Amino acid sequence: MTERPGRAGRSGGQAGAGELLELVRSGRAVTRGALQQVTGLSRATVGQRLDRLFRAGWLREGAGGPVGSPLGGRPSITLEFDGSHAVVLVADLDTRHARAAVLSLTGEILAEHSGTLVVEDGPEVVLAELAHWFGELLEKAGHAAAEVSGVGLAVPGPVDSETGRVVQPPMMPGWDGYDITGRLSRAFTEHTGAPAVPVLVDNDANLMAYGEQRAGHPDCRAFVLVKVSTGIGAGVVVDGSIYRGIDGGAGDIGHIRVGADALCRCGSYGCLAAVASGGAVARRLAESGVPAASGADVRDLLAAGHPEAAALAREAGRRVGDVLATVVTLLNPGVLMIAGDLAGTPFLTGVRELLYQRALPRSTAHLDVVTSRLGERAALIGAGALVVEHLYAPERVEERLLALGV
């Protein structure tokens, strides 16, 4: 049978196994017939390429679909991505706290741990401890280290996505330019004895935005998340992909100058983070005699209904809302999500007051301003999705199948 022109791929100029897997994973084509129709490949060629994916354990047959012909007949057998053949390890570093988990390939949390981990202790100490956590989590989840297909890490600083290294991070002293991916990969092997696996690193706000957009707003073509905790950062997802800028600096709104004279951790004066972050609110509370040393302390005070904390959070929200009016005008997002330690009613009220006052009505007419849906797990879910998309990207599938001998 002559092949009809199909979508370009890695196999002979036509759709290869990676493209077929992508079509199934995305739901665009989930039967053999649909794959033939979309790609233009013959039935035999589709069958050959699917057979490789079945032998790798990446695909499985699901329930029969609806009968496609009005004359009746056997229902089409659907194809499904098999998320049980491997697991992913993920972690989210904050300045004084971290959270780690084992995830299935479909994003289900299989085991989770959180605890104190001080980023200022440096990458050697922090990454070795994370690897130790990973070993314990795998045992808790009942999975062997050999089942791990990749590791995802969220960090509170700008990341060059090409190298996985943080670039001049104000809140991560000693980490600038450090080989995070190489060290974490070696630490994982040292603690578990498993072979090295890919390690992907990205900014925490980016991964929070990625996780939240995929989980709760998959149809939103322009999505912005603002994390307000010890510092302030934003993640932007456009057409389903993280927008990072040319070297990972996109979204670093905490260092926009707002005309104040407060000294920021980056060394400059007047940054938004210096006057409106959780850390800034904590300092003002401490100066007035209220025990608070971090954004987490402010979060606890807000949960307890502390009036001064609420007033300062609302004021911080107004400052952030003033900056976000420009962000919204520039990007015209469908969803603006507020997340982090200050993401409660007082802060959100302040954001809305200034945002709707300063931004053009055209920019906010179809804008939803919401709070986090995934909460403290957002970056974990986003990190897992980033690793899975990397591992099963069409251009990478062929080399992985060859490595497996299928």
- Is the pLDDT at 10 greater than 50? The verdict is no
Indicate the range of 59-63, 238-242, 289-293, 367-371 predicted with least confidence: 59-63
Q: Please tell me the distance from the alpha carbon of residue 225 to that of residue 337, in angstroms, as a whole number.
A: 5
Q: Which token pair is 146?
A: 């050999």
| pTM for this entry | 0.91
Phi/psi at 341 (5° precision): -60, -35
Predicted confidence (pLDDT) per residue in 152-163, tens digit: 999 999 999 889
Q: Please tell me the distance from the alpha carbon of residue 382 to that of residue 89, in angstroms, as a whole number.
A: 12
Q: Rounded to an integer, what is the distance from CA 221 to the centroid of its chain? A: 16
Query: For 379-396, what is the mean pLDDT?
Result: 96
> pLDDT above 70 covers what percent of the chain?
94
Q: What is the pLDDT of residue 67?
A: 46
Strands 222-228 and 97-104: unpaired
Query: For 185-200, what is the mean pLDDT?
Result: 94
Mean per-residue pLDDT of the chain: 92
Q: What is the pLDDT of residue 7?
A: 43
Q: How confident is the model at residue 3 (pLDDT cuts 50, 70, 90)?
A: very low
Number of H helices, E strands in the chain: 14, 14
Q: What is the pLDDT of residue 2?
A: 43
Q: How confident is the model at residue 260 (pLDDT cuts 50, 70, 90)?
A: confident
Q: What is the pLDDT of residue 71?
A: 46
Q: Please tell me the distance from the alpha carbon of residue 367 to that of residue 145, in angstroms, as a whole number.
A: 44
Q: What is the pLDDT of residue 76?
A: 76
- Is the pLDDT at 28 greater than 90? The verdict is yes
Q: What is the pLDDT of residue 248?
A: 87
- Is the pLDDT at 337 greater than 60? The verdict is yes
